[in-house]
Structure 1
Amino acid sequence: MGIKSFQGRRAEPEKVETASVSVSDYMSTNLVTFTEDQSIYEVMELLMKHSISGGCVVDEKNNLVGVISEGDCMKHISDCRYYNMPDDHNTVKQRMTCHVETIDANMNVLDAAKKFIECKFRRFPIVKDGKLIGQISQRDVLRAALNLKGDNWHS
């Protein structure tokens, strides 16, 4: 007598609704930006007013040209005091970081978390065709992780 095997009808895999996982779903688009000719003191005032730690520097066509941070402002203060330099003509252009790493808006937001860890940055600008379209911060990635709650982390 042979052994008969019975295999029941296979159910179709359940389609799970996946939450949004791209950087564009979590990036900020209402940004405080700076221009190269602004004074460092103006930057400091805006950073304090808006409770932010830095921002993107753009030209008149909204092309990303750099970033300016609290750290850049602190260096300015320290240099002025230590080297007894006059600080009335110090501009964003003289203090900003020009070589800026960006993140693609279509990148998985959890892959962005890895990039934050590797680069130790607080924020990444998002550009399209050279134009600034948004920014993603570490806090935005935390918000995404809470929203996804681990269910779709492998997407």
Structure 2
Amino acid sequence: MLKSVDLLHYMQPDPETVAPTDSLFKAMDIILREGISGLCVVDQQHRLLGVLSEMDCLQTILSCTYNDVCNLGSVADYMTTDVDVVQRHADVVNVAELMLKNSRRRMPVVENGILVGQVTCRRLLRAVRDFNRNAV
């Protein structure tokens, strides 16, 4: 059985982050090194400002290639600022439904605007798998 439906038990604490002033290449290096699909963008107080996905990076690089002009700027130039977020004590099932409804692979977890974690489809899959293993 699920040990809890509280997201706190399934979220990833301290996800990889970048600053909005970091270069896009730095962000890509982190994504590749860590084998993740995106990064949370935070300010110096760790307030969530947006997200940068590997798809954002890929789209930018391809655009540079096709246009023969590659003057990459900072993360702030490419990040998504309209971000769905959840609270750390949200219900896992509600979070999963929201992720499916909005086609999200990951969602930042915030408390009072401060990034405290991230939930991913992979983490939710583990929770469901564990639930099914224990239910049999």
Alpha-carbon distance, 1:150 to partner: 8.1
Q: Number of residue pairs matched? A: 135
4+ residue runs over 4 A deviation: none
Q: Which of the residues 44, 48, 56 maps onto 2:28? A: 44
Q: Which of the residues 40, 62, 65 maps onto 1:81? A: 65
Aligned residue in 2 for 1:57: 41
Cα distance between partner residues in 1 of 2:13 and 2:131: 21
Identity score, percent: 31
Cα distance between partner residues in 1 of 2:36 and 2:110: 20
What TM-score, normalized to structure 1?
Answer: 0.81
Cα distance between partner residues in 2 of 1:103 and 1:65: 14
Aligned residue in 1 for 2:127: 144
Cα distance between partner residues in 1 of 2:84 and 2:133: 27
The structure that is strand-richer by fraction is 2
Aligned residue in 2 for 1:12: none
Alpha-carbon distance, 1:100 to partner: 0.8
Alpha-carbon distance, 1:23 to partner: 0.9
Larger Rg: 1
Structure 1: 5+ residue stretches without partners = 1-16
Aligned residue in 2 for 1:106: 89
Structure 2: 5+ residue stretches without partners = none
Cα distance between partner residues in 1 of 2:2 and 2:22: 44
Higher relative contact order, chain-length normalized (CA < 8 Å, sep 6+): 2
Instruction: Give the residue type in structure 2 aligned to 1:82.
Output: Y
Contact 2:14-2:116 at 8 Å conserved across structures: no
Alpha-carbon distance, 1:113 to partner: 1.3
Q: 1:26 to 1:95 in 2, by over 3 A?
A: same
Q: 1:82 to 1:19 in 2, by over 3 A?
A: same
How far does the alpha carbon of each residue in 1:105-146 deviate from its partner, in whole angstroms, 9 at most, with x for none?
Answer: 222112211111101111000110110000000011111112
